[in-house]
Amino acid sequence: MFRDLIETSWRGGLLGYGEARVEDAHGFWPGEAPAMARATPARQAEFAAGRAAARAAMRAVGMVPYAIPMGSDRAPVWPAGVVGSISHSNGLCIAVAARARALSGLGIDIEPLDPLPEELWPDVLTPTDRDWLMTQDADLRGGYARMIFSAKEATYKALYPRTRRIVGFDAMDILPDLGAGRFLARLNTGFGPIGAGISLTGQLFCASGLVCTLLALPRGAECGANVAGNSIPETECFSEISA
């Protein structure tokens, strides 16, 4: 569903994309089953489809697929030398993967493009998020609030492996650029070498009633300690990255 959109925006084969439907799931690879021992059949199928999508993403960049168990924190345990991310919604599971020598982190999220209930806005939106939202047409604000939620999920997934810290939605502000299909995530909380005040740029895709958000972290100082010293600490984290 999002394959053409994502692969077109990523030139040079740094990032692989995969997807699978829950109804097409076909069991677990060794080491994956224990995490699903007590799960419902629906959750087991979702888990299997997510892992199938992840292995397809690995194959897309020439990597041998491996089992992807679940860690004690419920995050996927990717093989050594691999970074990746998995998301699912409405029976569709999608994943992205890259070699760790090419990218240092990946986060992807899909959500139904339904309005985020207004009673959840105080939990999800920072004052900065809300200021941007109030500049948009009133009829569209619920859907854009959902988009902000998704962008925070994708950003958090890309950053979480650096600290393994659970943070709230106030850990970042999101500024969508709808015309460019991008979003800016400004961190209010530091994640290891990526300090508070740094801004990261991700991508926005919409198709078939779903919104997909994607954020990638390049290797090296671009998202490290050197960035924190910049007067305008902003980094581009997607298709402009060279191999």
Contact criterion met (CB below 8 Å) for 107 and 158: yes
Q: Within this chain, do residues 231 and 119 fall inside the same structural domain, yes or no? A: yes
Claim: this prediction has a pTM higher than 0.85: yes
Other Cβ atoms within 10 Å of 146 Cβ, number: 20
Q: Within this chain, do residues 97 and 115 fall inside the same structural domain, yes or no? A: no
| Ordered DSSP codes for 102-124 | TEEEEEEEEEE-PPPPGGGHHHH
> Which is more confident, 62 or 242?
62
CA 155 – CA 161 distance, rounded (Å): 11
For the chain, give the percent of residues with pLDDT over 90: 78
Among 48, 70, 101, give the residue marking a domain's end.
101
Among 77, 101, 125, give the residue marking a domain's end.
101
Contact criterion met (CB below 8 Å) for 145 and 121: yes
Q: What is the SS3 assignment for 98? A: strand
Rg, the chain, Cα only: 17
> What Cα–Cα distance (Å) separates residue 148 from each residue in 81, 126, 154, 213?
30, 10, 10, 9
CATH number of the domain that 77 lies in?
Answer: 3.90.470.20
Nearest CA to 155 among 122, 107, 205?
A: 107
- Can you give the length of the chain in residues? 243
Two tokens, residue 41: 């059949």
Q: Within this chain, do residues 32 and 89 fall inside the same structural domain, yes or no? A: yes
**Any bridge partners for residue 84, and if so which?**
97
Q: 171-184, pLDDT tens digit by residue?
A: 999 999 999 999 99
- In the DSSP assignment, the letter for residue 3 is H
Contact criterion met (CB below 8 Å) for 2 and 92: no
> In which band, very low, low, confident or very high, does the pLDDT at 191 lie, cut at 50, 70 and 90?
very high
In sequence order, which residues have a C-beta less than 8 Å from that of residue 139 and are 6 or more positions away?
none
Q: Within this chain, do residues 56 and 136 fall inside the same structural domain, yes or no? A: no
> In which band, very low, low, confident or very high, does the pLDDT at 199 lie, cut at 50, 70 and 90?
very high
Residue 242 lies in a domain: no
- pLDDT, residue 220, reads 64
Q: Within this chain, do residues 47 and 122 fall inside the same structural domain, yes or no? A: no
Other Cβ atoms within 10 Å of 74 Cβ, number: 7
Q: Within this chain, do residues 122 and 84 fall inside the same structural domain, yes or no? A: no
Checking if the pLDDT of 232 tops 70, the result is no
Give how many domains the chain has, as a whole number.
2
Q: Within this chain, do residues 232 and 112 fall inside the same structural domain, yes or no? A: yes
Q: What is the SS3 assignment for 41? A: helix
Residue 21 lies in a domain: yes
Q: 66-110, pLDDT tens digit by residue?
A: 999 999 999 999 999 999 999 999 999 999 999 999 999 999 999
- pLDDT, residue 10, reads 83
Q: Within this chain, do residues 89 and 169 fall inside the same structural domain, yes or no? A: no
CA 101 – CA 83 distance, rounded (Å): 9
Q: 20-60, pLDDT tens digit by residue?
A: 999 988 889 999 999 999 999 999 999 999 999 999 999 99
Q: Within this chain, do residues 212 and 129 fall inside the same structural domain, yes or no? A: yes
Domain residues for 196?
107-236
The pairing of beta strand 234-236 with beta strand 199-207: parallel
